[in-house]
Amino acid sequence: MPIKHRKIMLLGCRSVGKSSLTIQYVQGQFVDSYDPTIENTYNKTVKINNQDFELQVVDTAGQDEYSLFPAQYAVDVHGYVLVYSIDSSKSFEIVRTIYEKIMDMIGNPNVPVVVVGNKSDLQAEREVSREEGEGLAKDVNAVFLETSAKDNLCVNDLFQKIVVQIERSAGDGVDGGADKKCIIS
């Protein structure tokens, strides 16, 4: 089977861990220092259900509720990962705003989306419950999971899930067997 190229865009407000998730996934390391991203693109070749994929992961600059949604964020993008931090209810609210901007731009409610509550290692500082995350994902017809880039918890699952969503929306029906430790709804 020929390799499939898929472009995935990570969106969310600043310091929710978009870069940490991306670098953990692509390079297998956790970057502890915070250096605001302008925009970086990473490539990784993976095999999911006997299909090779060349993933182009676009790690965007942090958005806030006033950020414009650049047109290039909708061009040739196969799926979106909307990231908030479980210790920031503001970052959670911004994910909903970003989703609305994607819908305004694309107009397709079936666009593949995964909603991610990152920093699940910060349980003591939690401001957003798992139920709230699941509720938002249900509202926007997305897959939900919580991750920790620091502990490398469910990071691979996150990218596997978005690829499966992309393939499902394309009608290719690749089904993703999830890691049993991750709760995905």
Q: Kindly state whether residue 82 falls inside one of the protein's structural domains.
A: yes
Q: What is the model's pTM?
A: 0.90
Q: Is residue 174 part of a domain?
A: no
Q: Is residue 96 part of a domain?
A: yes
Per-residue confidence at 107, pLDDT binned at 50, 70, 90? confident
Pairing of strands 39-48, 4-11: unpaired
Is residue 175 a part of any domain in this protein? no
Domain carrying residue 32: 4-169
The answer to whether residue 119 is domain-embedded is yes
Specify the pLDDT at position 178: 41
What CATH number is attached to the domain comprising 165? 3.40.50.300
- Tally of domains within the chain: 1
Q: What is the mean pLDDT of residues 157-169?
A: 95
For the cut 80, the answer to whether the pLDDT of residue 172 exceeds it is no
